[in-house]
Amino acid sequence: MAGPCSVESEEQVFAVAESVMKSGAKILRGGAFKPRTSPYSFQGLREEGLQLLRAAASKYNLKVITEVMDNSQIDLVEKYADILWIGARNMQNFTFLKGLGRASKPVMLKRGLAATIEEWLMSAEYILSGGNHQVILCERGIRTFETATRNTMDVGAIPVIKKKSHLPIIADPSHGIGIRDKVIPMARACVAAAADGIMVEVHNDPDHAKTDGAQSLFSEQFAQLMKEVRIIAEAIGRKIT
């Protein structure tokens, strides 16, 4: 899974979609509704963003994953997306989890910043017990005392989840580490730890991205990453489709 943090314009989303498809990505990510710490920051293109994302994905034969922020958005987002992703800050929004249990599309549930693995699995249980059995977990870093990186990626959560649950687990090194030149080694590390997939932020012009530019990869970096990751996956007896 690859794509920009936020959908910003037609040009941007088509350019990124084409380049990640060429490197072998299968799913296009992009945010149309953006949860932001401050109420005064850019909040996303909303439905227009969803339309652009869908159009670009269809053109390049990709699937769409995008964030849903609350129950009122589920119907709208399901019209455009193949997978609904739930942000870390909503991991214990129980009303929302119940709503997702009634959704018809697969849900990717990000781990909360201070959530234990136990609590994360319990939140997945809210969705599963509502009748939606397509839940994917996504490790995206936890909050610790270390400030040299944006978050501390808990790579160890991957083998723990593999043992405790049948749910697939992917990793989001872009948010996990938050610094562009460290996204690649972290993505490799997660694949080596047997993650079932990787989601990274790729931008056609990271230096002018409206959100998260500093952690978005250039297209060539993504191509290089895909090459390395294929070999690592094979080394541990897995295959990238």
- Between residues 62 and 97, which has the closer beta carbon with respect to its own copies? 97
Looking only at residues 81 through 140 of this chain, which bind its own copies when binding is defined by CB under 8 A?
89-90, 92-98, 112-114, 116-119, 122-123, 125-126, 129
**Gap between the Cα atoms of 55 and 162, Å rounded:** 35
Q: Alpha-carbon torsion 37, 151, 132, 92, what sign?
A: negative
- Between residues 48 and 234, which has the closer beta carbon with respect to its own copies? 234
Binder to its own copies among 53, 190, 202, 217 (CB under 8 A)? 190
Q: Which stretch binds its own copies (CB under 8 A): 2-10, 23-31, 38-46, 131-139?
A: 38-46
- Between residues 48 and 118, which has the closer beta carbon with respect to its own copies? 118
Residue 23 interacting with its own copies (CB under 8 A): no
Q: Alpha-carbon torsion 176, 41, 114, 69, what sign?
A: negative
Cβ atoms of 167 and 136 within 8 Å: the answer is: yes
Looking only at residues 203 through 232 of this chain, which bind its own copies when binding is defined by CB under 8 A?
228, 231-232
Binder to its own copies among 152, 165, 223, 238 (CB under 8 A)? 152
Cβ atoms of 138 and 110 within 8 Å: the answer is: yes
- Between residues 148 and 241, which has the closer beta carbon with respect to its own copies? 148
User: How far is the CA of 154 from the CAs of 50, 151, 191, 218, in angstroms?
Assistant: 31, 9, 13, 25
Cβ atoms of 85 and 96 within 8 Å: the answer is: no
Q: Which stretch binds its own copies (CB under 8 A): 14-22, 33-41, 74-82, 132-140?
A: 33-41
**Gap between the Cα atoms of 161 and 167, Å rounded:** 8
**Gap between the Cα atoms of 231 and 225, Å rounded:** 10
Q: Considering the complex, what minimum distance in angstroms separates the CB of residue 37 from its own copies? A: 5
Q: Considering the complex, what minimum distance in angstroms separates the CB of residue 212 from its own copies? A: 17
Binder to its own copies among 29, 54, 110, 182 (CB under 8 A)? 182
β-pair partners for 156:
none
